[in-house]
Chains A and B, each alone.
Chain A
Amino acid sequence: MTTTVIAGGRILDQAGERSGDVLVDDETGLIVEVGPSLSGDRTLDATDSVTVPGFVDLHAHLRQPGNEAAETILSASRAAAKGGYTAVIAAPDIEPCADSASVVSDVMALGAVALCDVVPAAAISVGRSGEELAPLGELADLGVRLFSDEGHGVQNAGFMRNALDYASSVGTVDGAPLVLAQRCDVASLSIGAQMHEGEWSSRLGLGGAPAEAEELMVMRDIALARLTGARVHFQCLSTAGSIAMVRAAKAGGVAVTAEVTPHHFTFTHEACSSYDTNTKVSPPLRTTDDVAAIKAGLADGAIDAIATDHAPHAPDDKERPFDQTSAGVIGLETAFAVALTELDIDLAAIVGLLSWQPAQIAGLADRHGRTIEVGAPANLAVIDPHHRWIVKPSELSSRSRNTPFAGRELTGKVRHTIHHATPVVENFEATR
C-alpha cells in the first residue's frame, strides 16, 4: 500500500471550491482523507493549483486495433493523462469495427495497460454500415453505454428509429440508459466536402458542406428522440442552428445531450485559407457566428460537454493534398488548456464540461467526476490555471502530430493526474 497526498492546493468539484489536501490510497483506489495538512508516503505539490475530478472524454479515436502507426491505446492514454483525463471513451471506428463482443473485449484488454480508464463505445450497426443492428444487448452486458456509427452518422431515418426503440428496451446492469451518439451529417449534402461551404470554400476552390447538412440530421434525431423516448447524444456540434435546436429540445423536455470540440470554438473556416491540412476536420470549422453560438451554448447549458474528437493521423497521411488527406486533429493533451484560454466562463464551469457532465452521459458517474470526499474513487487531476505554455507537437505524447494548435500559447496546464489513486502524471510529465 502506498498513500499519496496532494498538498498545498485548493479543491474544486460539484460541491464548490475550498482549500484542502487530498490523501489517496493505491490499494483501494479511494480517497482516504480530505483536510488541512495531511501527510502520506509521497507528496504531490499542489501550490497555486487546483485539485479537480479527472476529466472524461466522450469521443476519442484511439486507432487500436487497426492503425497503430497513428496511435495506440497506450500512447493515446498517455496523452489523455497529460491532458487531465482519467477516462476516455474509445470510438468504435477501428479495424475491425467495434460491433461485436469480441472486438470490444479486445479493446478492454488493451486498455488494461493504459494510464486512464479506456471505455469502449460500440457501433450502432454492424460494420457501421447503417443496415443491420449491432448486438446492443450483448454489448451492454459487457458494459458499453455509448453507441455511435461515427462517420456521417446513421443516414436512414427508419433504421435510426428502430435502433433507438431497441436501445431504450435494453436493460442495463446499473440502470443507466444506453445512449446513441450521432455525428450528424446528411451525407448527400456533403459529397466531396473538404470544409464549410461559404466564402472561404468559394475562394479556395474546395468542396463545401453547408451547415444544413448537420442541422437537418439534428432536427431529425430530436424528432426521433421525442418519438421513441430514447437517449440521443449529439457529437461535435458545429453550427449555430444545431445548438439552437438542441437548446429548444431540452427546454421542451426531450432527452438529448450534446458535445462540442475545442477546435470548433477556437477556429473559423478562414483557418483553411493556408490549406493547412490540420484545419481539415469533420464537421468542418465554421463561421464566426457559429463559434459565438458554441461559446454561448457552453455558457448557458445548451451544450453538456467538451469532447476532443481526438483523431490521430500519421504524418504521411496529412502531407497530402487537402482533398486527399484524412479529416481530424489530435486534442487530448490540449483540450483543457484551450478551453481555459478561449472560453469566457469560470473554471468550475469548464471543469464541469470536461468532467462530471460527460461522466454522467457516459454512465461513469460512479467512478469519475465525483465529489472529492472520503470513500470516492481517486480519479483526479491537479491543474495549474496560470501556467503558460506553447504547444509544440514534438512534445505531445500522441504518436501523431496533427494538432491545429501548434505554436499557440495557452494558459493553464495539467500538473498531476491521479488514476485509481496512482499518480500517472507528475509535474507535467507522464510517469510511464
Chain B
Amino acid sequence: MRELISIDDLSAQDLADVLDLATQFAEVQKRDMPKVPALRGRTVVLAFFEDSTRTRTSFDIAARRLSADVVNFSAGASSLKKGESLRDTIETITAMGVDAIVVRHASSGVPTAISGWTDAAVVNAGDGWHQHPTQALLDSFTIRDHFGSLEGKRIALVGDILHSRVARSNAAAFSKLGAEVVVVAPKTLLPSTLDGWPVTVETNLDAVIGDLDVAYFLRIQKERMGSGLLPSDREYRTRYGLTVERAARLADDALIMHPGPMNRGVEIDPEVADDPRAVVLGQVANGVPVRMAVLYSVLGPGRFDHEDELEAVAAS
C-alpha cells in the first residue's frame, strides 16, 4: 500500500492485512510506554483544510507513537486564504521534504488530485462526500473485535447517505469484508442512484431494526433540516433515530455505532447513547492503532525495511 485514498482501491486481503497490523499496534497501546521507533526519521504532515478534532488528534497521536515527526498545517493560517492555488500550496509543503501527507478537505477528490502532484504518500483523512477510509477501517476493526469477523453480519447505515463520506467508505469496506449492508434513509438523503454500491436500500428503519447485527447511525447536519430535504429534527428522530423503543427491538449482542460527533436526541436518544451495546468511544479509541497501521503500511513495508524492527518490537 503506497497511499490510502479510497476503500475502492483496496482488496479484501489489503483490508484484512491492515486490521491485523492494527491488532498488533493495539497491543503496543496497552504498554506503559506505548511507542515504537518504526517511523523514526520520517515526517508526516497533517494537512487539514477542514476543521476536525478527533481525526486530526487521532492521526497526530498515531504518528507520534510510531516516532514519526509530525507537522501540523492548518488552512486558516495558510496562503490558501491569500488565493494561492491548491497545487501551489501542496507543492510548497512537499518541497520541504515530507514522507506522508494526511489530507482532510471539504471537497471530494482533493486527495486524488494531490496524489498526482506529489511523491509523498497521500493518506485521505476525509474528502467532501467521497471517502473517509480510516473511519471505515476503524469501524471494521471495532466490529471485527466484537464479532470476530464481519462475514455474514447484517449492518445498517442509517441517515444522510447522500452527503456522507463515512457511508461511501464504510459500505465498501463492510461489504468487502463479507457483511451484508443496507442503507436506510429517505430518498432526499440518498444518491439518485446506488448503482455500483454494494448495498440494498430501505426507507423504513422499523422494517430492518429487529434483524441487525450492527446499527450504524450517521451524523445529520443541522443545515439539512428545513431545506426541503427534511422537515425537522423532531421528525427525523421519529422516523430514523434510535429511540428507546427501537433500541428495545435491537438484538442483545448487536452494536450501536456512530462516527461522532453525535447529536443526542436526534440520531440516538440520550439514554440509548449510554447503552452497553453502544461502542462510540471504543470506535474513537480504535482510531489510534488503525491509523498507526495505515501510516506504517504506506511508509513502512515495501518502502523502508522496517519489518524486522516491527517484529522485534512486537516480541519485546
User: Is A205 within 8 A of B130, CB to CB?
Assistant: yes
User: Is B192 within 8 A of A202, CB to CB?
Assistant: yes
Choose one: A199, A202, A274, A320; the contact of B86 (CB below 8 Å): A320
Interface residues on chain B, size class: 20 to 34
B32 within 8 Å of A by Cβ?
no
Q: How far is the CA of A299 from the CA of B226 in the complex (A)?
A: 47
Query: Chain A contacts of B195 at CB under 8 A?
Result: 198-199, 202
- Interface of A: prevailing SS: helix
> Of all chain A residues, which has the CB nearest B90?
A319
Q: How far is the CA of A206 from the CA of B131 in the complex (A)?
A: 11
User: Is A202 within 8 A of B197, CB to CB?
Assistant: yes
Q: How far is the CA of A317 from the CA of B84 in the complex (A)?
A: 10
B210 within 8 Å of A by Cβ?
no
A346 within 8 Å of B by Cβ?
no
User: Is B107 within 8 A of A198, CB to CB?
Assistant: no
Number of interface residues of A (CB under 8 A): 23
- Interface of B: prevailing SS: loop
A202 and B113 contact, Cβ closer than 8 Å, known pairs A275-B108, A322-B108, A323-B107: no
Query: Chain B contacts of A323 at CB under 8 A?
Result: 107-108, 128
| A229-243 interface with B by 8 A CB criterion | none
A322 and B107 contact, Cβ closer than 8 Å, known pairs A199-B195, A202-B191, A203-B168: yes
Q: How far is the CA of A316 from the CA of B113 in the complex (A)?
A: 14
Shortest 8 CB-CB distances between A and B: which pairs? A275-B109, A321-B107, A205-B129, A205-B130, A202-B191, A319-B87, A205-B108, A316-B85
A345 within 8 Å of B by Cβ?
no
A385 within 8 Å of B by Cβ?
no
User: Is A321 within 8 A of B105, CB to CB?
Assistant: yes
User: Is A206 within 8 A of B108, CB to CB?
Assistant: yes
> Of all chain A residues, which has the CB nearest B172?
A203
A357 within 8 Å of B by Cβ?
no
Query: Chain B contacts of A205 at CB under 8 A?
Result: 108, 127-131, 165, 168
Query: Chain A contacts of B85 at CB under 8 A?
Result: 315-317, 319-320
User: Is B130 within 8 A of A204, CB to CB?
Assistant: yes
User: Is B112 within 8 A of A275, CB to CB?
Assistant: yes
User: Is A321 within 8 A of B196, CB to CB?
Assistant: no
Chain B CB within 10 A, most for which of A208, A316, A321, A324? A321
Q: Show 28 A/B contacts (Cβ-Cβ < 8 Å), sorted by A.
A: A197-B192, A198-B193, A201-B191, A201-B192, A202-B192, A202-B193, A202-B194, A202-B195, A203-B168, A204-B109, A205-B127, A205-B128, A205-B130, A205-B168, A210-B192, A275-B108, A275-B112, A277-B113, A315-B85, A316-B88, A317-B85, A319-B88, A320-B85, A321-B106, A321-B107, A322-B107, A322-B113, A323-B108
Query: Chain A contacts of B109 at CB under 8 A?
Result: 204, 206, 275, 321-322
Query: Chain A contacts of B197 at CB under 8 A?
Result: 202-203
A interface footprint on B97-117 (CB within 8 Å = 1, 0 otherwise): 000000001111110110000
